[in-house]
Amino acid sequence: MLRLIRYQDTMKESWNNFLGTAINGHFFFHRDYFLHQKERFEDHSVIVFKDAAIAGVFAAVEITDESGVKEWCTHLGLSFGGLIQSSSIGMNTVAEIFRELKWYLLKNGFSNVKYKAMPHIYYSTVSFEDRYALFINGAKQWYTQPYSVIPQDTYRGLSSRQKTRIRSVLKNSAVHFSDIQTEQELREFYHGLCANLEKKYGVQPVHSLDELKQLKMLFPDNVLIKALRQDTKILAGVVLFVSNHVTHAQYLYNTPQGQKVDGLMILLDKIIGEYNKNYFFSLGTSSEEEGRVLNSGLIQFKEKFGARTLTQDFYIWRLKEGCN
């Protein structure tokens, strides 16, 4: 028998413990990871019990659009979401979970679901049960994005010309690699990141400086910040999110001085060489306008490192369609 219960803070320990046994558990779904989002979103996460044991969890938020339509989203504050599921359940149970989820959400006044499916590299085994369960319950693909990944232990370095360039810079330009640790270093990194994003895209980072500092403090083994420096100045930087199966690179940037020496290329070559031995290495998405416009230059840059393209799929589920 299945029971769906809205998450309460008293369930925090059970929720977090479950992530360690799920086939697609990730520290993104640890309840402490959500602390910086409490004021931004109204949490409406759901725990699924099968008899007395947790069979799955959904990290989710609820929003109401301008027309008053109430939507349940997994998850607006994360790169992906969806069902985090136990290894003990299969297709029949997952299908039942989504049937029960539909009635739970309708009972709670929701009209739509926006579902960010998790790319399969984050699973410890093959498992697309949630996609099929969405399909048989009437959900439609909303959009898809190209997601660049270097398969585990496949990185063989850059081209001969680029390797020669890297050796020359490392020898002649007094550059070195560093970990961002202190608050002053983090401020310097963040200032460069903001300047780069504003200049290239007219946007600011999703995470504030305080949020990034908090996440680094709470998850010191999972949130790492790397830089290439010339003397004391940052030339290039990147934030790494390290999980069980995947190292994901985010907030990659060059400073103007870094562009002159291909700083980001040098930094990524070093990092990918180190982390790809034991992990898939994710370079994320390369599209705009809900996947309809490919950022050709960005994905070409990622392909220089041997990245191949998966898709990250997004679904819209209109709960009232087909209801009597």
- Least reliable range by pLDDT among 159-168, 175-184, 251-260: 159-168
Domain 156-275 has CATH 3.40.630.30: yes
Q: At what angle do helices 183-201 and 209-218 cross, to 10 degrees?
A: 130
pLDDT confidence bin for 145, thresholds 50/70/90: very high
Sign of the alpha-carbon dihedral angle for 56, 61, 66, 68: positive
What DSSP character marks residue 82? S
Pick the range with the lowest mean pLDDT from 1-10, 82-91, 168-177: 168-177
* pLDDT for the residue 322: 58
Confidence band, pLDDT 50/70/90 cuts, at residue 61: very high
- Residue 254: is its pLDDT beyond 90? yes
Chain segment 212-227, per-residue pLDDT in tens: 999 999 999 999 999 9
The CA–CA distances, whole Å, from 94 to 88, 176, 237 equal 11, 49, 41
pLDDT above 60 (res 296):
yes
- Domain 2-144+312-318 = CATH 3.40.600.10: no
What is the predicted pLDDT for the residue at 324? 45
Task: Inform me whether the pLDDT recorded for 111 exceeds 70.
Answer: yes
Q: Domain residues of the chain, as ranges?
A: 2-144+312-318, 156-275
Asked if domains 2-144+312-318 and 156-275 share a fold, the reply is yes
Strand 246-254 to 112-116 pairing: unpaired
Q: What is the mean pLDDT of residues 9-20?
A: 97
